[in-house]
Amino acid sequence: MWKRLGGCVLSLALTSTPAMAQDFDDLGSGDGFSFGSAEYGPPNVYVVQTGDTLWEISERFLGNSYYWPRLWSINEQVTNPHWIYPGNQIKFRMGTLTDPPDIGIDAIDEGGPMETVEIVPTQAACGPNVRFEVKRPLRSYLATGFLAQRGDVEIYGEVTKARGIQTYLSQRDLLYLKVDDPDAFDCGDVVSVYRKVRKRVKHPTSRGQKYGSLYRVVAEAKVVHRHDDYLSAVVRQSWAEVTRGDLVGPQMPVTIEIEVQAPDGDLDGTIVERVEDASDLLGPGETVFIDRGRADGVRVGESFHVVEQRDPYSDFKKEDKELPYAVIGRIVVVRVDEYSATAIVSDADRSLMVGNRLMQTVE
C-alpha cells in the first residue's frame, strides 16, 4: 500500500474502537536518532489498541515519551488531541536538522481515501533556533476556558436537576435549570454551562500578580420549556461532562477560526495557566493563558514562540541560563483581556508547561 520513504516509517492503523491519544511535529531529532529500548526500531505498521496513548507509543518505540506532542501536531486531520478515531492512517519519516522529514498523511473513511496532505518543514538555517514559523491556514480551534475576577461573570442560575440517572450528562440530555428570572427566557434561547475549575490563578513567577478565577465552558444548551422557576434545556453541544451544580450564563463562543502566522513583534511573556488538569500533558490544541493583554498591545491573531534554555536530559528540573533559547512551540492569541490573554497551542515538539516563557523575537 505504501513504501518506506527512507529512514523510518511508522504507520498507525486504527481499530474500530477509539483509543485515547496524548500527542507530537517535525520529528527532527538530529543525526543518530535513537529508538531507545526498541531493538529493531518501530514496526512498519502498528495497530493502536484500546487504551494506547502516544505517550506510551513514543516511550516504547522512540525511547522517549516526551516526543508525544509531535505526532498530533503534524496530523491535522486528528481534530481532538486526546482521541484517535478509526479510519485514519498516519505515516511519518524521521529527519534531521539539515534533512527535514517529509510526511504524507492519508485520511480514510469507509468510502476509501479522502485526501492526501504533504507537510514539509523548512530546512534549518543559520542563526537562532527559530521554528514553527510556517503559516497555518484558517482552521477551527476550541477555547473552552476563560479567566474572570469576582463579579465579572454573569450568572443566570445553575443546573439543579436532570432527566437521567447518570452522574455525568452530555449531548442530547435534558437539564433542569433553576434561574433567577425565568420570564427573561423564551423557547430556543441558548445558554452556556460552565464551572469554576480554579479559585485563584496567580503568576507562576511574579508574586502578587493575580488573574481571578479559571472557568471552563463545558456545554451549550437550548431552552425548550419554562415552568415556574425552572427552564428545561437540551444539551446541544458538550466539550466536557455536565454535572448538577454547574453554572448557567450567557452563550459564550468557544469555537474560533483563525490563521496562525509567524510571531512578529518584540513582546515577551509567560504561560500562567492552562484549562486542562495539571496531570494532563500540555500540547497542540490546548488552551493556555498568558500574562500579556490589551494594555501591552496584544491583539487577537498574534503569535508567540514558546522557548526554554535547557538540555532536556540533564536540566529536566531547572533551566540553564547560559544556554541559547530553543523554540519548543508556538501559541496564537484568540481572546484578549486588559492584562491577560487566552491562547491556543498551535505547535509543540515536546510537552509544554505552565511557566514556559514566550517570545516574539528570539535572539
pLDDT reading at 186 higher than 60: yes
Range with lowest mean pLDDT among 134-143, 156-165, 231-240? 134-143
**Which part of the chain has CATH 2.40.30?**
147-252
Most confident of 35-49, 69-83, 329-343: 329-343
Q: In this structure, how many other beta carbons lie within 10 angstroms of the beta carbon of residue 192?
A: 22
DSSP β-ladder status, 326-336 and 341-348: antiparallel
CB 293 within 8 A of CB 358: no
Range with lowest mean pLDDT among 81-85, 207-211, 278-282, 319-323? 81-85
Q: Note if the pTM is more than 0.75.
A: no
Beta bridge partners of 327: 307
CB 193 within 8 A of CB 220: yes
Residue 132 pLDDT class (50, 70, 90 cuts): confident
**Which part of the chain has CATH 2.40.10?**
256-359
Q: Which residue has the higher pLDDT, 69 or 38?
A: 69
Q: What angle do CA 299, 141, 72 make, to 5 degrees?
A: 120
Q: Which residue has the higher pLDDT, 130 or 231?
A: 231
Helix boundaries (H) for the chain: 54-62, 68-74
Beta bridge partners of 352: 282
Q: At residue 67, what are phi and psi to the nearest 5 degrees?
A: -85, 5
Q: What secondary structure, in 3-state letters, does 206-274 show?
A: CCCCECCEEEEEEEEEEEEEEECCEEEEEEEEECCCECCCCEEEECCCCEEEEEECCCCCCCEEEEEEE
Fold assignment, 147-252: Elongation Factor Tu (Ef-tu); domain 3 (2.40.30)
pLDDT reading at 81 higher than 90: no
Sign of CA dihedral 20, 26, 269, 322: positive
Q: What is the pLDDT of residues 253-293, one digit of tens each?
A: 999 999 999 999 999 999 999 987 655 567 788 899 999 99
Q: At residue 307, what are phi and psi to the nearest 5 degrees?
A: -125, 160
Q: What is the dihedral of CA 32, 34, 35, 36, to 10 degrees?
A: 160
Q: What percent of the chain has pLDDT over 90?
A: 45
Q: Which residue has the higher pLDDT, 160 or 90?
A: 160
Please give the CATH number for the structural domain made up of 256-359.
2.40.10
Q: What letters, b where the CB count within 10 A reaches 16 and e where it falls short, cover 256-266?
A: bebebeebeee
Residue carrying C-alpha cell 511519518: 92
